[in-house]
Amino acid sequence: MLLSSVPQRMLMRRSRSLSPCRVLQTTGADSSCSTGRHGLREVVDANRNPLVSTSRVSRKGILSEEASSTNVTPHVQYHHLATRWLTNLQGRRNSWAALASRGRENNYWDGAGGRESRSSRAASAGVLSAAALAFCLKKDSDSKGGSLLQAARTSSSQEVLRLLAEGADVNHRHKLGWTPLMVAAMNRQHNVVKVLLEKGADPNLGDDFSNVYEVSREKSIHSLEVLVSREDEFSSRLSSRANFRGCSPLHYAVLADDLTTVNMLLEAGADPLQSNSQGHKPAQYAKDGPLQDLLKEWEGKFVEARQKREAQERRRFPLERRLKEHIIGQEGAINTVAAAIRRKENGWYDEEHPLVFLFLGSSGIGKTELAKQVARYMHKDIKKGFIRVDMSEFQEKHEVAKLIGSPPGYVGHDEGGQLTKRLKECPNAVVLFDEVDKAHPDVLTVMLQLFDEGRLTDGKGKTIECKDAVFIMTSNVASEDIAQHALHLRKEAQEQSRRRLAEKLEEVQKSSDVTISKQFKEEVIRPILKSHFRRDEFLGRINEIVYFLPFCHAELIQLVSKELTFWAKKAKQRHNITLLWDRPVLDLLAGGYNLHYGARSIKHEVERCVVNQLAAAYEQELLPKGCTLRLCVDTPLEEEGGAGPTLKLEVVGDDSSTRPLHIRPPLNPDPMGFAH
């Protein structure tokens, strides 16, 4: 009598989802035919229609697949599930018994009484029926977040407002990955979608749920339990095998074919260009008609708005300034690269050909770092957007297979090439061919097609289009000639500056602002490149040859200061030691610069002269905890016959007084004696 007002189908569905008996019966009924229909176990089709109903067929499929993979009986296989479900049902049965007992105490079932008592009993029965339904539909988690997810599914906007007022997180995630806004969007709950958006729900969050089998492995949960949770707490209209990772609420609203929800999400800032893990945008799931037209219209608006924002950001913070924050010196190289990137960003480039650079200069002068910074500027995900290929690994002719993959019939054919595999994932990546002069000339033949038409054919015969990519090659060819020419130009600039200062002229040229002349490029650099690479067609495909010059004294001071700042942070973080230094220290360390090793020589000089002393003093327990150290230059007197100025460490006291640290040199090993 008490359950007469409860819809029978709702009770049967909930009991069917939670009953271990149904699991065992289904398994037994379908065990004989499970092998034929479900031979491909746990194979996930990324392009499977995501709107295939999975309510009963998929549950049978999962049970048969799970049973076919094990040799245990169904009773043993689902023993742990049966225990959990029985505990759950027992808790609900106890709650119902307590409610029924309270009804008997209040004489709800007493036959005596008039019309008023009968109406009162009917009303009480209705209340108890509703309570029974609430207990049947109650989830395992009583948290506010779980209640919010349930309210979003049942279109209880008042309950959603109450839970949010009590502190529930509007972007709370289910343990399997989805959010309340995704639930409301998929189930066409317009009022709930409106409330959640007004309360600050993020319309661009991606779903962490992939498919039943992957989530089952990741969470260590039985696949049937994952399927039941997905159907009962999210939607029963979705396929259990399709991949939903990264799907936004807009994706689910499009899958539900709900024009109203899609419009609300778009007006709230949902990105129609956002792709899921399969690379699919919401428009790719839309049917032809008003929904498809609406998404295309908003895609155009988003592209235009994004281009305006990026243009404003570029005007406010130009690329040259960004690069100079990370790279010391090399203004000519930075300006050349930034100008080419600016042409590409603003649409003033040939879209049929990629950008190709050749960076020339000595080792340790910033060639690789500039390529990394360009990739960091152009791509948010530096791991995908930056591809580095060390060409010293391709010194043999046959090693071209590493780039494009082995041909059919050879080992590694299915693995693909180092370059083609990653270009397929990110066709507009920044590709660095480091030390290209060390590669075999025949390996460079592959790059002719790549640099000219922006496409590459892999070992499987598939063509990868990469016309939007940026290719950067670095080389040490002609580095000695470039360095000597730059030093000669700096000397001339210094002499000219002295003359202008003596004549009191206003225009004084900085010694660091030197430019490689066109005559030097054509008469010196071009013949060297041609003799090494042996091909004019290879050099002709390069858009810009960028020259990196040796550091001047002012740039060396910046390098030393940057290196000392790095070690000062390490000393503070690891040992709580404050490290200070004076300007003469910078000048002394800058003297360790080597033209052939570039910035690496400064790094090594700081390690030899500063870090070695710090490590020895720390080992000899000469550094008090939390002390302040000062680096200073010790200049020996002429009569002492010193070898020259050296660096020494001093401890700075609280009263700003200093005392030198007497660091003992390493002891020489005792001479060994031999017995005769």
Concatenated DSSP letters for 262-321? HHHHHHTT--TT---TTS--GGGGPPTTHHHHHHHHHHHHHHHHHHHHHHHHHHHS-HHH
Domains 145-209+244-316 and 553-660 share a fold: no
Query: How much is the average pLDDT of 401-411?
Result: 76
Amino acid identity at 198: E
Tokens of 293: 């037209």
- Residue 502 CB burial class (10 angstroms; 0-12, 13-18, ≥19): exposed
Quick check: 579 pLDDT over 80? yes
Q: What is the pLDDT of residues 645-655, one digit of tens each?
A: 888 888 888 88
Q: How many CB atoms lie within 10 A of CB 651?
A: 17
- Residue range 197-223: mean pLDDT, rounded: 91
306 pLDDT tier (thresholds 50, 70, 90): confident
What is the pLDDT, as a whole number, of residue 347?
A: 83
Return the number of other C-beta atoms located less than 10 Å from residue 633's C-beta: 17
In which band, very low, low, confident or very high, does the pLDDT at 132 lie, cut at 50, 70 and 90? very low
- Residue 131 reports pLDDT greater than 50: no
Task: In whole angstroms, give the CA distance from residue 516 to residue 193.
Answer: 63
| Position with higher pLDDT, 511 vs 519 | 519
CA distance 211 to 218: 11
Percent of the chain scoring above 70 in pLDDT: 73
Tell me how far apart the alpha carbons of residues 138 and 91 are, in angstroms, rounded to a whole number: 11
Please, where are the H alpha helices in 472-622?
A: 479-502, 518-520, 526-533, 536-540, 553-575, 583-590, 599-606, 612-619
- What's the whole-number mean pLDDT along residues 344-361? 89
294 φ/ψ angles, rounded to the nearest 5 degrees: -65, -45
Q: Decide if 616 contacts 628 (C-beta within 8 A).
A: no
658-660 and 646-652: which strand pairing? antiparallel
Q: Provide the CATH topology of domain 553-660.
A: Helicase, Ruva Protein; domain 3 (1.10.8)
| Among the ranges given (5-19, 289-303, 358-372, 431-445), the one the predictor scored with the smallest mean pLDDT | 5-19
What pLDDT was estimated at residue 140?
Answer: 39
For residues 404 and 116, give the distance between their C-alpha atoms in angstroms, rounded to a whole number. Answer: 87
Mean pLDDT of 606-620: 91
Provide the pLDDT for residue 563: 94
pLDDT at position 406 is 75
What class does CATH assign to 145-209+244-316? Answer: mainly alpha
Mean pLDDT of 454-459: 85
Q: Are 254 and 282 in contact (CB under 8 A)?
A: yes
Strands laid side by side in the 628-634 sheet: 578-581, 628-634, 646-652, 658-660
In this prediction, residues 370-390 reach a mean pLDDT of 90
Identify the CATH number of the domain defined by range 321-550.
Answer: 3.40.50.300
**Contact in structure between 452 and 353 (CB atoms under 8 Å):** yes
**What predicted TM-score, i.e. pTM, was given to this entire model?**
0.65
Structure tokens, 50:
């995501």
Each domain of the chain, given as residue ranges in start order, spans: 1-138, 145-209+244-316, 321-550, 553-660
- Work out the pLDDT band at 51, boundaries 50, 70, 90: low
Residue 508 pLDDT grade (very low, low, confident, very high; cuts 50, 70, 90): very low
Q: What is the pLDDT of residue 183?
A: 94
Can you spell out the DSSP letters for 68-132?
Answer: HT--S-HHHHTHHHHHHHHHHHHHHHHHHHHHHHHHHHTTTT-----HHHHHHHHHHHHHHHHHH
- For residues 167-195, average pLDDT: 93
CA distance 642 to 634: 10
Distance of CA 70 to the CA centre of its chain: 38
Query: Strands 646-652, 628-634: parallel, antiparallel or unpaired by DSSP?
Result: antiparallel
Neighbours of 208 (CB within 10 A): 18
Neighbours of 396 (CB within 10 A): 12
**Are 196 and 180 within 8 A, CB to CB?**
yes
CA distance 238 to 52: 6
Task: Give pLDDT, residue 596.
Answer: 86
The tokens describing 398, both together, are 């046959």
**How many Cα atoms are found within 13 Å in the side-chain-facing hemisphere of 503?**
10
